[in-house]
Amino acid sequence: MPTPHIALDTRTERKRTPARSRLAYTPEVAEETRELYNRVSKVITPMEWPAIAPYVKAINDLKKEHNAVILAHNYMTPDIFHCVADIVGDSLQLAKEAASTDADVIVQCGVHFMAETSKLLNPDKTVLIPDQRAGCSLAESITAEDVRALREAYPGVPIVTYVNTSAAVKSECDICCTSSNAVQVVESFGVDRVLLIPDEYLAKYVATQTDVEILSWKGHCEVHERFTADELQAYREAEPGLRIIAHPECPPDVLAEADFTGSTNGMIKWVETHKPQKVLMVTECSMSDNVAVDAPDTEFVRPCNLCPHMKRITLPKILESLENMRDEVHVEEAVAMKAREAVERMINLPV
Ligand code: 13P
Ligand code: SF4
C-alpha cells in the first residue's frame, strides 16, 4: 500500500491553511496537472488527486513568481517528490545542488539540518523550510559542546561529522560527510584513526569498508534503528526471490541481511541497474513509492517505517511557506563561517 500523501499533522494544517480561494479542483487545474497525475497514478489514487492537484498548481505558479526552487529529499511523499520538486536527491546531491542554484529562494523539503546546509552554502539567498520543527534524532544526539569535549579527549584525531547535525556541531569539526561519501572522507586524511560522529551504525558500517580505525558516538536514526534482522529473515522466507537493500544507518545485524548497502541515491541507482523482480528497501517508507513510479516491473515489499520529521513537510505547508516567505532559516555568522568550511571541504573532495 502506498503511504498517505496529504498532511498527517491536521491540527497544524488547520492553523496554517493558505488561501482557500485558489484551491478548487477546476477543469483548468485538472487539465494543467494531467501529465503530472499520469506520472504518479501508480502511487496516488484518482480519489486523492482532486485534493492534491490544486496545491500542486498553486505551488508551481508561486515558484515562478518568486524565482524559487524546491529541493526535495528522497523521503518526501510522491506528491512533493514528483509534482512540485525541481531537484530531488540524497543529502550529498541536495548540498551540491544548493551550492549551484541561481534561484533567489530555496524551499527545502526535508529536515532542518538540510535547510541549514543550504543556507550555509547560500548566505545571501532566502532559504525557507515549510516546518521548522522538522528535526532529526541524529542531529539531536550531539551538541557543539560534546564535539569540543571529544576534541580534547582525542587530540590530533580528525573529526568527521555526518551532515545530519546542526550547523553548530558542523562548525566544530574538520569536514562533513554523508552516507554516500563517508568512506572516501575518512580515508581523505591519510591517517590511522578518525572520529566519525554522531551515527554509531554508520560508523560501524564504514569501519567494515576501510582499514582506518573509526571512533564514534552513540547517536541513532530513530527510523532505521527500528528494523530488525529477524523481520528481514521473515520477509525473505515469505517472499521467494526477494532482494534486500539497506541504508547504512541500520544496525549491523540488519545490514548483514542485505544484498546491498548504500545511501538513498545509492539504493535508487541499485534498483535502476539491477531491476529486481521484488525488492525491500530498508529505509524510510516513502522512498519505495517514489522509486516505484519509475520501476513498473518491480514489486516493492514494504515494512513501512515513516520518519515523523520528514513527514512534517506537506503540500499545504509548502504553499504557505511560499505565500508568506516563511519559515526563513538563519545561521549565526560566526558559526556559519566554520560550518560552511566543513561542508565545502566535503563538496570539494575529488570524486
Ligand atoms: P541520505 O543522505 O542517504 O539521503 O540520508 C539522509 C537521511 O536522513 C537518511 O535517514
Ligand atoms: Fe533523521 Fe532518521 Fe529522519 Fe533521516 S530518517 S531525518 S536520519 S530521523
Check if 199 has its Cβ closer than 6 Å to any atom of ligand 1.
Answer: no
**Whole-angstrom distance, CA of residue 303 vs CA of residue 231:** 9
pLDDT (0 to 100) of residue 182: 98
Check if 164 has its Cβ closer than 6 Å to any atom of ligand 2.
Answer: yes
pTM reported for the whole predicted model: 0.93
**Whole-angstrom distance, CA of residue 303 vs CA of residue 279:** 11
pLDDT above 60 (res 66): yes
pLDDT (0 to 100) of residue 328: 98
Domain spanning 139-221 has what CATH number?
3.40.50.10800
Least confident span in 13-27, 28-42, 170-184, 232-246? 13-27
**pLDDT tens across 33-60, in order?**
999 999 999 999 999 999 999 999 999 9
**Whole-angstrom distance, CA of residue 172 vs CA of residue 327:** 26
Averaged pLDDT of the chain: 94
Please tell me the residue having the least CA distance from ligand 1 atom 2.
91
Which of 90, 137, 267, 313 is the best mutation target for the ligand 2 pocket, counting ligand atoms within 8 Å of the beta carbon and taking the most?
Answer: 137
Within 8 A by CB and 6+ apart from 230, the residues are none
Q: Collect contacts of 44-50 with beta carbons under 8 A, ≥24 apart.
A: 44/2, 44/5, 44/78, 44/79, 48/5, 48/6, 50/25
Q: How is the chain split into domains, by residue range?
A: 10-136+310-324, 139-221, 224-301
Least confident span in 4-18, 102-116, 121-135? 4-18
Which of 71, 161, 183, 247 is the best mutation target for the ligand 1 pocket, counting ligand atoms within 8 Å of the beta carbon and taking the most?
Answer: 247
**pLDDT tens across 317-345, in order?**
999 999 999 999 999 999 999 999 999 99
Residue 149: CB atoms within 10 Å: 12
283 C-alpha to ligand 2 centroid (Å):
10
Which residue's entry shows cell 517508507?
Answer: 285
Beta bridge partners of 87: 71
Q: Is 304 part of any known ligand binding site?
A: no
More confident residue, 6 or 94: 94
pLDDT above 80 (res 237): yes
Q: Which sign, positive or negative, has the C-alpha torsion 159, 329, 104, 59? A: positive
State which fold the 10-136+310-324 domain adopts: Rossmann fold (3.40.50)
pLDDT (0 to 100) of residue 10: 41
pLDDT (0 to 100) of residue 8: 43
pLDDT above 70 (res 20): no
Quick one: which atom of ligand 2 is closest to the CA of 221?
2
Within 8 A by CB and 6+ apart from 150, the residues are 159, 195, 197, 217
Average pLDDT estimate for 185-195? 98
31 C-alpha to ligand 1 centroid (Å):
35
Range among 4-13, 15-24, 54-63 rated most confident: 54-63
Which of 3, 202, 281, 310 is the best mutation target for the ligand 2 pocket, counting ligand atoms within 8 Å of the beta carbon and taking the most?
Answer: 310
Average pLDDT estimate for 309-323? 98
Confidence grade of residue 1 (pLDDT, cut at 50, 70, 90): very low
In percent, how much of the chain has pLDDT > 90? Answer: 92
In percent, how much of the chain has pLDDT > 70? Answer: 93
137 C-alpha to ligand 2 centroid (Å):
6
pLDDT (0 to 100) of residue 104: 97
Check if 138 has its Cβ closer than 6 Å to any atom of ligand 2.
Answer: yes
Domain spanning 224-301 has what CATH number?
3.40.50.10800
Average pLDDT estimate for 269-277? 98
264 C-alpha to ligand 1 centroid (Å):
6
Confidence grade of residue 246 (pLDDT, cut at 50, 70, 90): very high
Confidence grade of residue 6 (pLDDT, cut at 50, 70, 90): very low
pLDDT (0 to 100) of residue 19: 55
Chain center to CA of 70: 13
pLDDT above 90 (res 7): no
Please tell me the residue having the least CA distance from ligand 2 atom 6.
136
Could you tell me the CA-to-CA distances from 86 to 80, 136, 175, 281 in Å, in that order?
10, 23, 28, 24
Check if 288 has its Cβ closer than 6 Å to any atom of ligand 1.
Answer: no
CB 315 within 8 A of CB 52: yes
